[in-house]
Every structure is written in structure tokens, then in C-alpha cells.
Amino acid sequence: MHIKALLSHHIESAFAELNLQGAAMVQAASRAEFGDYQANGVMAAAKRAGLNPREVATAVISRLQSNSAFTEIVGAMDVAGPGFINLTLSPHFVAPALNASIQTSTEPKVVVVDYSAPNLAKEMHVGHLRTTIIGDCVVRVLEAQGHTVIRQNHVGDWGTQFGMLLTYLADSGNDSDELADLENFYRAAKQRFDADNDFQERSRQAVVALQSGDSGALAQWQRFIDISMSHCQHIYDRLGITLSADDIMGESAYNEDLAGVITSLAEAGLLQESEGAACVFLDQFKNKDGDIQPVIVRKSDGGYLYATTDLAAVTHRTQRLGADRVLYFVDARQSLHFKQIFAVAKAAGFASEQSSLEHLPFGTMLGKDGKPFKTRQGGIIKLAELLDEAERRAAELVREKNPDISPDQLQNLAKVIGLGAVKYADLSKNRTSDYVFDWDQMLSFDGNTSPYLQYAYSRIQSLLTKARVDPRELPQQTVAVDEPERRLAVCIAGFNDVLQQVADEGFPHYLCAYLYELATRFTTFYEQCPILNSEADQRLRRLTLAHSTGTTLAAGLNLLGIGVVDHM
């Protein structure tokens, strides 16, 4: 059930009957005393018609009161402030929505999601965390809604860094199958590259050899890729990320398509030469002085760029994969790049007008000092080490609360709580801003954190155990009677609304805020509505609500890629 859409539909019909124009603008109420939902659209509609907004709101309400379909949904409504309409849902209406089932979309789409995309021959570091976690959550939500999701891991597996590495290994006679060694070799290669012209030139030739299909170079390159990807896959598995080897579609995969990109741009009349480089000039990319900033697609030495590969990728995704939407979960610092790629792709007809190309940017992870998150020595934090620390810190917490726990249980809890905390800390913030990585905050059992939600879930499981009920025998729905019950039920019923928002806008923090609200309402309910010692009807009703809260929490956390446990 999509409550907001349903309410909007009826309210907008009332608008139409009153010859008003505008959207109902329904939102979850900001405070409990405003009811469950509020419609904010009356003010704008009244203004447009030159009418008094409070009078219009009263007229809308009287229309709605004579609409029996609406009065089955809404138990009470009133005008507030300058012309808001506050709506309180009827407990009968929300009763069937208590089973936490995810509604599938009536318009299933093909959605390509580009996320994670680490650069190979290096270990994954904190810089890859946000794209990986946020992208995977949105992928899970879209799939749960029945969309066809095609993951594309656009790994950086091509270009100068591999030329350097190949040349360095040939020169030094070094080699290894360990990623950590390769990373050190790469660092040394980079130093030499910056200092030594001859090395630079030979590295460039190695790239050319690679790009033109030299079998020796390719075999060695393939080995680096395999070593790197098995490291990445290990991190994905550990973090519960749904990416697999099948989703890899790295930069190298577009090698054969790059020349064609240039030809197509020329055919579309978009290509211009500037200082020997092939460029696209589009009017919308003027700098402060009014000069157009070109998108360079081929350098004067014939080399292709990151942008060229992304243009080939757009064509692949929209034309071969048939994407209706392509979502890019990439750092906000690449915003201009994507604006340019999307504009060129549309102008050249690589993507049709209907296909939606969406850059979903995110900010930087900061340390407590407000600067980009680094090790104490100022080095890059490796993802594997960060996850180790999360588990270690969670294990300490669990042991404190639970000194007699078995080693196996401890390990499992530390993993579920520690990794959940890291993921939730990221997912619960609006992705567009930078966020401060803070161990104490994310592992706290209070506030909008994953341990708080996991704890709420486990508390519900022990309640059900204590009540000696088999959850499968509880009814699928129940009609709330007391106000804390009703508020809890209304919140549970809003699950699909929030999933729709996440699917449309790619903001997982909506889902986090929802789950936190749900857990908070559950706490109020639990404090105010005795369960185990209440009389039979009441007991059954409240157990049903508690169970339904538990399944919704677990389903929501699962979409965030976070696990739950029965005992904490």
C-alpha cells in the first residue's frame, strides 16, 4: 500500500471538484499532534485561485468528508495553521498493511546501477566505502520492488597505471601474486615514472602494447586483475555486498568501442579539433569568462580518456542492456564529468530522450578533526583494516554486556553489529553531505544507530519467546485500539511509501530515518501498553503488532544490507 499516493489522489480529486489547481503535497506529519500525514498543497492552490487558504482547506475537508472511500482511510482531519490539512488514519485501513510485504512496482523498469568501481592493482580503501554501501542498498530496494537491476562494476582496470607496473616489473625483475606487493611495486613505479623520462616513455609504450592486444602484456595484466578482483570480492562478501564477478564491466571492456565513439561523435557533427585533441564543445559548459569548456575525447597523442570510456558505457547500457534508468553512485567531485557525459550522450543520440541518466553523488568521509579520514600517520585507511577494527570494537562491547558468551557467538555478534554499524553510519546520513566517521557514535546503543535497531529487533524476539507464541500462528493483521498501538500500526503501514522514495531518489537515509521512527514508536508502545499480563484479546493484538514491528525492522535492515540476531 502506498499511503501518500492514495491520500494525494483523493485530495487532488477534491481540488478538481473545487476548480483548484495544484498538487496535494502529502507528507508524513512532522509531529504527533499534527496527526499521521499532512497535506501542504492547499496554500499554493488557494493562492493561485486568489482565495483564502483556511477557507479553501475547510471546503476541501467537507468534500473529503462526503467521499466514503476517503473516510474509510482517514478517521479524522482538520485545518491547521495557515491552511495545512492534518490527517489521522483509521486503524481499520492500516490493519492489512501489517505484514511487511514489499509491494512490487506496477511499472517494472530495467535499471543499470554503476557502483563500487575501485581502481585495480590497489587495495580497496575507505574512499570506496560510500559508493559500495549506498549503491548496494538502492540495488536491493529496486530488486525487491521487482525492477530488473543490472549491476555494473566499472572498475579502473586500464590505462597508464598498468603500463607503469608492467615496465617496473620488467626492469626490476620483481614479481608477486600478493596484492600488497603489487601495490608497493606500483608506488615505486609511480615514483620512477614522475622522475624518469625514459621510464615514462616505455610505460606509455607498454600501455599501447596492452591496448593493441599484445599477448604477453595482456596475460600479465589479466593476472593483476585476477589478484585485485579476488581481493575486492573478499571485501564484498565480508560486507554482504551483492556484487559478484559477473558484474564486472571495467574500463578495459570498452577498449574496442572507443574509436567508434569518436566516429559517432563526428557523424553527429559534434566533433572539433583543438590543439590536436578531439573535443566536443557544448554551449551549456561555459566558464566564468563565457568560454566553452570542451569535453576532450581523444588526446593529441591518440590516447582516449576516462570520458571516452564513459561515453562508450552509456551506449552499452542504454542500447545493449536496454536501460530505462542508469544510476551512477560516484563521488560528488565527479559531478561536472557526469553533467558533460550525459549532455554529450544525449546530444549525440547515444541515449534516447526517455532514458534517464542519473548521477547520485555523495560527499567525503571525514575524520573527527573534520579533515578527510586518514590513519594517524596521515596514510590511506585500507578497507580490510577498517572492517577488522569494527569487529574488534563490537566484540569488546558485546563482551562487556555479556561476559559469559561463547567464542562462536561472540564472533558472529561482533560481525553483525560491527559491520552493521559501519554501514548504517553511512547510510543514515544524507549522502550529499560529507560525514564524520565516529566509532563511538556508530556503535552506541542509543540514537539513530544500527545497534539500537538490532537491539529493538532482539527485544521483540525475546518478548515473543517469553509469551510462548509461535509467530507463524499469530494473525496477519489486527485492528489497533489504543493510541500507541495505532501510531505503531500507521508507521508499519508506511514501509512501502518510504521504499518508493528510496527507489525514486536513491537516498537510503529515508529508510534509516523510517526504521528509527518505527523503533521509537515501538518503545513508546512497549512502555505504555502492557503485553504479557494483559487479557487475551489485547495480548494477541499487541503481540501481533510487536511481531509485525520485528519483521518490518528485519526487512528494512536487510534492504540496508544489515543483519539481525535474536539475542544480543
Cβ nearer to ligand ARG, comparing 158 with 193? 158
Shortest distance in whole angstroms from residue 114 CB to ligand ARG = 5
CB of 512 to ligand ARG, least distance (A): 24
Three-state DSSP state, 102? coil
User: Min. distance of Cβ 309 from ligand ARG in angstroms?
Assistant: 8
In the three-class reduction of DSSP (H, G, I as helix; E, B as strand; rest coil), residue 445 is classed as coil
> All 3 cell numbers of residue 392?
574488534
Residue closer to ligand ARG by CB (options 47, 337) is 337
C-alpha span between 457 and 553 (Å, rounded): 7
* Sheet (strand 295-298) strand order: 271-274, 277-280, 295-298
Q: By CB neighbour count within 10 A (0-12 exposed, 13-18 middle, 19+ buried), where does 400 fall?
A: exposed
User: Which residue in the set 125, 147, 154, 317 belongs to the binding site for ligand ARG (CB under 6 A)?
Assistant: 154
Kindly state whether residue 134 participates in binding ligand ARG, applying the rule CB under 6 A.
no
Cβ(136)–Cβ(241) below 8 Å: yes
The binder of ligand ARG chosen from 330, 345, 360, 488 (CB under 6 A): 330
Q: Which residue number, 207 or 490, has a Cβ lying nearer to ligand ARG? A: 207
Nearer to ligand ARG, 330 or 559 (CB): 330
Which grid cell is 82?
495557515
* Chain centre to alpha carbon of residue 507: 6
Q: Which of 156, 166, 136 is nearest to 228 (CA)?
A: 156
Nearer to ligand ARG by Cβ, of 161 and 548: the residue is 161
Please choose, from the candidates 144, 145, 104, 100, the residue with its C-alpha nearest in 3D space to the C-alpha of residue 476.
100
Q: Which stretch binds ligand ARG (CB under 6 A): 80-88, 113-121, 343-351, 471-479?
A: 113-121
The least distance separating ligand ARG from the CB of residue 118, rounded to whole angstroms, comes to 6
Out of 123, 310, 391, 497, which residue is the one contacting ligand ARG (CB under 6 A)? 310
| 470 DSSP assignment | -
Strand partners, 565: none
The 37-39 sheet, strands edge to edge:
26-28, 37-39, 84-89, 74-80
The residue type at 399? R
Q: Does 117 bind ligand ARG (CB under 6 A)?
A: yes
Please work out the total of residues on this chain that contact ligand ARG, with binding judged by CB under 6 A: 9
In terms of Cβ atoms closer than 10 Å to its own Cβ (0-12, 13-18, 19+), residue 567 is exposed
Which residue is closest to ligand ARG by CB? 117
Cell of 246: 559477473
Phi and psi torsions of 106, nearest 5°: -80, -15
Q: How far apart (Å, rounded) are the C-alpha atoms in residues 252 and 167?
A: 19
Other C-beta atoms closer than 10 Å to the C-beta of 530 total 11
* Closest CB to ligand ARG among residues 21, 335: 335
Residue 157 binds ligand ARG, judged by CB under 6 A:
no
Binding mask 16-35 for ligand ARG (x = CB under 6 A): --------------------
Per-residue cell: 215: 599477448
Contact region with ligand ARG (CB under 6 A), list: 57-65, 112-120, 274-282, 476-484:
112-120
Alpha carbon distance, N-terminus to C-terminus of the chain: 33
Least distance from C-beta 313 to ligand ARG, angstroms? 6
Q: Which range binds ligand ARG by CB under 6 A, 114-122, 436-444, 494-502, 531-539? A: 114-122
Per CB under 6 A, the list member of 142, 258, 313, 518 interacting with ligand ARG is: 313
| Shortest distance, position 155 Cβ to ligand ARG, whole Å | 7
Q: Which of residues 156, 159, 418, 550 is near ligand ARG by CB under 6 A?
A: 156
Three-state DSSP class for 85? strand
Of 110, 107, 133, the closest CA to residue 360 belongs to 133
Please report whether residue 308 would count as binding ligand ARG according to CB under 6 A.
Answer: no
- SS3 state of residue 520: helix
Candidates 248, 339, 338, 261; CA nearest to 297 is: 261
122 binds ligand ARG (CB under 6 A): no
- Which part of the chain contacts ligand ARG (CB under 6 A), choosing from 111-119, 374-382, 464-472, 553-561? 111-119
Instruction: Confirm if 372 and 365 have CB atoms less than 8 A apart.
Output: yes
From candidates 38, 119, 461, 500, binder to ligand ARG by CB under 6 A: 119
Minimum distance from residue 156 beta carbon to ligand ARG (Å): 4
Contact flag: residue 116 with ligand ARG (CB under 6 A): no
State yes or no: residue 114 binds ligand ARG (CB under 6 A). Answer: yes
The least distance separating ligand ARG from the CB of residue 227, rounded to whole angstroms, comes to 18
- State which residue, 60 or 249, has the beta carbon closest to ligand ARG: 249
Amino acid at 188: A
Q: Where do contacts with ligand ARG occur on this chain (CB under 6 A)?
A: 114, 117, 119, 154, 156, 310, 313, 328, 330
